[in-house]
Structure 1
Amino acid sequence: MESRLLRAFVHTARSSSFSEAAAMLNVTQPALTKQIQQLETLVGSPLFRRGRHGSELTAVGMTLLADAQEIVDLTARFRQRASRIAAGEEGYLSVGFGLSSISVAPRAVARFRAKSPAVSVRLEDMSSLVQLERVGSGHLDVGFTRLPVPGGLRSMTVLSDRLAVATPREWEAPRDGSAIGAWWAQHPLVRLSTARGPGLSAQISQYLSGIDAQPVVTQEADDLQTVLALVSAGIGIAIVPLSATNIAPPRVDMTPLSGRDASWEVGAVWLPGNETPVVRSFLAELAEPGAARKDTGQA
């Protein structure tokens, strides 16, 4: 049974005449009469008693009106919700982030939640490698990872970051030059565990190899906050993303490092075949000025 027929029935029953109902439904009176007749044929009984002074509901019509109204209201709610879902204003979104995106992903999610409060967002902390695996398998909608990404995924650059050396405030910071390798050898290194930050560990190893430096590792930690806390306590120095300045204790100085191996780009990554309306809405929010820079993906 078509919902438009029930809608015609409800509006006619709530109106003073067929002509008034037709105007409300934006159809001609003959078209409305035909719809009512179609519904009466389906029901198998007249719904209206027609006379000189208009029409009134029959006993069958009165009995069915409440049910028809409920179905019409439910259909309207369904259409409204379907429209919101199609526009990306309602639904579910899973987002991954790691050390390289700790300064941008939570803020991007917060902005999106403010604009789309009906979307349920799950934000998970995981390495870039795990994010890429889950995005590729369709188990994660969007990841924030180091670039570039494997073929088959798309990416949008959201920030550039670089390595920085974190030192206790009273310690001398390194300076580029011929003696930089010796400086590293004279200062114990507090390091983030490779398992916690494989991408960052590889970047640090590449940088140190490039400047021929071999610092002595004095302690490892499983999170960046602990690494910086150990630096603040004077245990040693640490190589961390410059974006970690936002979470560094007051007694820690951050000195940016230079060179080709000291910088990288971070991007939002997604699977083209998994672009739901909510994903497209989230990516559109990222693409607004100040949120993302360029699309570097591959179809």
Structure 2
Amino acid sequence: MELRLLRSFIAVAETGNFGTAAKVLLTSQSALTKQIQLLERQAGSTLFTRGRHGAVLTPAGHALLVDSMDVVRRADALARRMEQVAAGALGVLNVGFGMSSMDVAPLAVAHFRARHPTIQIGLEDMSSSAQFDALRDGALSVGFVRLPAPPDIASEVIRHDRLALALPRNEPAPEPDFAGLQSWFHDRPLIRLLPTRGPGLASQTSRLFAELDCKPGVLHETSDLLTVLALVAAGAGSALVPASSAAIVPDGVNLIPIPLAAASWTIGTAWLGEVQNPLVSAFLNSVRTLC
């Protein structure tokens, strides 16, 4: 059943006259008559009786009018909603982030939400590899990841990060050069995040130790970066963490960035390039404003 037939039916019912309804619909009276006849054949009933007083609804017409008006109202509402979604005024945006973006990701979400209050937005902590998979299957709209991204994922650099040595405040710091760091890390047990919880951090740490040709041991393992830093603050030991974690470092911790090439990496936004989503474009603009 075509919506235009229902609109014609409603117009005749509301005006009570084929000629007046034709003018409202910007069509000819003969074309309108044919549309009503077609609708009557589909309905299997006569919808109007025509006489000196115009067009009067039959009992069948009365029975179908309310539902017809409801269908048209819902269709119009859907069309308006589709226009809003296409314009980026409605929808859902799911954002992923990792340890190196735990400061900028919430700020970007807040910036975006202030400008797009009707958008539902979620923020989920996950590794870069998990974000790439979630982008592919549609569970994420955009992510904050370690770069480079896979070839099928679009990306944009937002900043660089590096490993930093988190030391208890009363512990002397090593010389921040190759020889000083190599000597300091040699056979020293460290507090660390579980590799399954931070695979990117674990991989970066392994690259640094390979460059320094040393193998520090493990003093404690935990599943949360805040716990790692809390243990350092309590004097339990030292740890390697992202330098960007300076925003959450508690009192009692000195953070010393490591100036070696193997200690640095690039952070960026990532999204599925083949998907044209106005919400993703708007969110990326929020990130660019902050970065």
TM-score normalised by the shorter chain: which range applies?
0.7 to 0.9
Whether contact under 8 Å (1:287, 1:293) holds in the other structure is: no
What is the rounded CA distance, in whole Å, between the counterparts of 1:282 and 1:158 in structure 2? 19
Match for residue 152 of structure 1? 152
Pair 1:269-2:270 in alignment: yes
Whole-angstrom CA distance in 1 between matches of 2:115 and 2:36: 43
Measure, in 1, the Cα distance between the counterparts of 2:188 and 2:129: 31
Hey, what's the Cα distance between the residues in 2 that align with 1:222 and 1:43?
A: 65
Q: TM-score, normalised by structure 2?
A: 0.80
Q: Which residue of 1 aligns with 2:284?
A: 287
Q: Give the match for residue 73 of structure 1.
A: 73
> Higher mean Cα deviation, 148-157 or 44-53?
44-53
Provide Cα deviations, 1:181-201, integer angstroms capped at 9, x if missing partner.
334459753222222212111
CA gap 1:28/1:251 in 2 versus in 1, 3 angstroms = farther
User: Which residue in 1 is equivalent to 2:199?
Assistant: 198
Answer whether contact 1:156 1:267 (CA < 8 A) is retained. yes
Identical aligned pairs, as a percentage?
A: 44
In 1, the alpha carbon distance for the partners of 2:113 and 2:35 equals 44
Distance 1:238 1:22, change over 3 A: farther
Distance 1:35 1:166, change over 3 A: same
Shift of 1:115: 5.2
Corresponding letter in the other structure for 2:36: I
1:263 aligned partner, one-letter code: S
Q: Which runs of structure 2 are paired with 1:1-299 in the superposition (5 Å)?
A: 1-15=1-15, 17-18=17-18, 20-27=20-27, 29=29, 31-113=31-113, 121-136=121-136, 140-177=140-177, 178-184=179-185, 189-211=190-212, 215-272=216-273, 275=275, 280-288=277-285, 290-291=287-288
Contact persistence 2:93–2:280 (CA under 8 A): no
Paired residue total: 290
| Letter paired with 1:284 | S
- Sort the Cα spacing of 1:257 and 1:21 in 2 relative to 1 into closer, same or farther, 3 A: farther
> 1:54-73 deviations in whole A, cap 9, x for unaligned?
43323332232112112222
Equivalent AA in structure 2 for residue 166 of structure 1: A
- Cα distance in 1, alignment partners of residues 278 and 174 from structure 2: 44
Aligned partners of 1:173 and 1:18: how far apart in 2? 91
| Contact in 1 for aligned 2:135/2:142 (Cα 8 Å) | yes
Q: Which stretch shows the higher mean deviation, 5-14 or 184-193?
A: 184-193
1:297 corresponding residue in structure 2: none
Deviation at 1:213, TM superposition (A): 5.6
The structure-2 alpha-carbon separation of the partners of 1:94 and 1:214, relative to structure 1 and needing over 3 Å to count, comes to same
Secondary structure at the residue paired with 2:288?
A: coil
3-state SS, counterpart of residue 249 of structure 1? coil
Is the CA contact 2:86–2:278 (under 8 Å) kept in the aligned structure 1? no
Distance in 2 (CA, whole Å) between partners of 1:209 and 1:114 is 45
> 1: CA distance between counterparts of 2:176 and 2:138?
44
